[in-house]
Amino acid sequence: MPEKIKLSSVIPASAKEIYTGWLDSKIHTAFTGAKAKVDPKVGGKFTAWDDYISGTNLELVPNKKIVQAWRSTEFPENHPDSKLDVILEPAAKGTKVTFVHSEIPDGQSEDYKKGWKDFYFTPMKKYYSK
Model pLDDT for residues 80-129, shown as the tens digit of each residue: 999 999 999 999 999 999 999 999 999 999 999 999 999 999 999 999 99
pLDDT for 91:
97
Q: What is the pLDDT of residues 37-62, one digit of tens each?
A: 999 999 999 999 999 999 999 999 99
Helices in 5-128 by DSSP H: which ranges? 15-22, 25-32, 109-116, 122-128
Quick one: pLDDT at residue 8?
98
Number of domains in the chain: 1
Band of pLDDT at residue 130, cut at 50, 70 and 90: confident
The domain spanning residue 103 has which CATH number?
3.30.530.20
CA dist 14 and 73 (Å) reads 31
DSSP label at 27? H
Q: In terms of residue numbers, what domain contains 95? A: 3-128
